[in-house]
Amino acid sequence: MSATKRDEVSSHLRYIRIELREMHQMLLKEDLIPDLNEAKQVHAQLDALLDLVSDKKIKKIKGQFGSF
C-alpha cells in the first residue's frame, strides 16, 4: 500500500473512531440512542474506507470473466 493511501486510510479510521466514541459516550452517559443520520454517516465512512482499501479493478475483472 502506498504512503498516500495509507495516510488516507489512517485519516478515515481516525474520523470513524471519533464518531463511534461519541456515540458510545452518548449511550453510556445520557442513555440516548444516537441519531439515525449520525449512524448512517459513520456507515458511509466505513463504505468509503472499504472502497479505498479494496482493489476494484480485480473485482471488475473477476466479475466480467467469472462466467467463462
Domain-located, residue 57: no
Segments forming the whole domain that contains residue 40: 3-49
Domain-located, residue 58: no
Domain-located, residue 62: no
Asked if residue 42 lies in contact with residue 19, where contact means CB atoms within 8 angstroms, the answer is yes
Q: Over the stretch 11-45, which tens digit does the pLDDT of each residue have? A: 888 888 888 888 888 888 888 887 888 888 888 88
Domain-located, residue 56: no
The domain total for the chain is 1
Q: Over the stretch 37-67, which tens digit does the pLDDT of each residue have? A: 888 888 888 888 888 787 665 455 555 555 5
Indicate the pTM of the whole model: 0.57
Distances (CA, A) of 54 to 14, 28, 33, 65, 67: 18, 34, 31, 19, 22
Share of the chain above pLDDT 90, in %: 0
- Say yes or no to pLDDT of 68 above 50: no
Q: Please tell me the distance from the alpha carbon of residue 59 to that of residue 65, in angstroms, as a whole number.
A: 10
Query: Which comes out higher in pLDDT, residue 7 or 66?
Result: 7
Domain-located, residue 34: yes
